[in-house]
């Protein structure tokens, strides 16, 4: 069994796991911001910050922040496809959660750990991701080329517990005020009909 299969098996064996729940793994800069956005959406049942693209041995915040581990700060989104589609998640990812035209950075956060990436669990996700990029490019939604990497899902390692729901737990932290909060405000304005009625626990 590969490490990838082992991680997947552990996920499937989690107590209370709903067989209908699917997952998406996306990277778009600081995971505090991306997590804050996706926690607002109806149909999303869980959002976890973590690291994807590198090894288990280097999957910790301080090593990842060096930019030398090949991890990306990422979020794993568990969602109910009966309420929200993978394509809907991608739309929010591209238009609200981050700027997909910035290579190996988001704003002042610079380094490969802040790259834009879609980690695809299967061919269906890969096709959807490619189609979304092609559509956005064709429609000239962005002035600059999209640089988002579309790659095979590698093991996802959850971040340290103090990162959980960081934006909501630290609303007055300057980075949250100036970077995460405006993205959440944009989501609430643009995707109001898709928002949760109650916040995620």
Check if 65 is active-site. Answer: no
Per-residue pLDDT, 18:
67
Q: What is the mean pLDDT of residues 83-106?
A: 98
Residue 201 pLDDT class (50, 70, 90 cuts)? confident
The CA dihedral of 70, 157, 101, 79, to the nearest 10 degrees, is: 160
**What mean pLDDT is predicted for residues 116-142?**
98
Helix (H) or strand (E) holding 105: strand 105-106
pLDDT at 200: 87
Segment 120-133 mean pLDDT? 98
Q: SS3 for 196?
A: coil
Question: What's the mean pLDDT in 161-180?
Answer: 97
Note the pTM of the prediction, 2 decimals.
0.90
- Cα 99 to the center of its chain, rounded Å: 13
Q: Which of 30, 33, 52, 120 is catalytic?
A: 30
Which token pair is 35? Answer: 């997590």
Regarding the domain delimited by 3-9+19-194, which CATH topology (the fold level of the hierarchy) does it fall under?
Answer: 3.30.1060
Alpha helices in the chain (DSSP H): 3-12, 31-38, 61-64, 86-92, 123-138, 166-169, 174-175, 181-190
């Amino acid at each position: 069994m590969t490490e990838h299969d082992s991680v997947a098996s552990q996920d499937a064996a989690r107590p209370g796991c709903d067989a209908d729940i699917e997952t998406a793994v996306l990277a778009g800069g600081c995971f505090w911001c991306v997590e804050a956005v996706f926690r607002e959406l109806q149909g999303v049942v869980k959002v976890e910050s973590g690291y994807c693209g590198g090894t288990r041995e280097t999957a910790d915040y301080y090593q990842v922040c060096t930019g030398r581990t090949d991890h990306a700060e990422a979020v794993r989104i568990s969602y109910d496809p009966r309420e929200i589609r993978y394509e809907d998640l991608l739309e929010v990812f591209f238009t609200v959660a981050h700027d997909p035209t910035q290579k190996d950075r988001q704003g002042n956060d610079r380094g490969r750990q802040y790259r834009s990436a879609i980690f695809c669990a299967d061919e269906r996700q890969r096709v959807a991701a490619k189609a979304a990029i092609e559509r956005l490019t064709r429609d000239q939604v962005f002035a600059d080329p999209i640089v988002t990497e579309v790659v095979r899902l590698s093991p996802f390692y959850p971040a340290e517990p103090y990162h959980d729901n960081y934006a909501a737990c630290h609303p007055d932290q300057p980075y949250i005020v100036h970077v995460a909060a405006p993205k959440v405000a944009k989501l609430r304005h643009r995707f109001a009909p898709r928002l949760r009625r109650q916040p995620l626990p």
